[in-house]
Structure 1
Amino acid sequence: MTKPSKTAAELIAMARAELKVHADCPDGIMISVLESADSWEFRTAADAATVAKPGYPECVALIVQIGDHLAKQFDVKG
């Protein structure tokens, strides 16, 4: 059975909404979708000031967990 597809923008919006519910993350974390042959995952980036803020590592870990969860439910539209 195939999974429903979402655009990268839709998946990122879903991740950001989930983050707001579960964590107080610093502003400035950029999220992108990295596609592979049969799956996808989130990648994050931030400037040095954002990386230095409290809670940054926990938020990145949470983004990875959210991505794992969403990748089981949705494919990404190319």
Structure 2
Amino acid sequence: MEQSLVFIVLLYFMETAPAANAQIALMFGIAFIVTRIVHGMAMFTRRLLIRQIAHVATVGLQLATAIIILAR
């Protein structure tokens, strides 16, 4: 949940930027949802490595979104 709130704000700023690309924002949004679902499933099935990979992917998406915002 805490990751989602930050990412929603980042995604909003990414979409409202002057040179916004809706397709990239959509891909990032879908990828974020998938990684959070995988993270939750790995947490309940006690698969630590998959959970860690999903978390790193989530943080990576947040960083990439922030970099895209700052680059514009």
Task: Select the structure that is richer in helix.
Answer: 2
More strand by percentage: 1
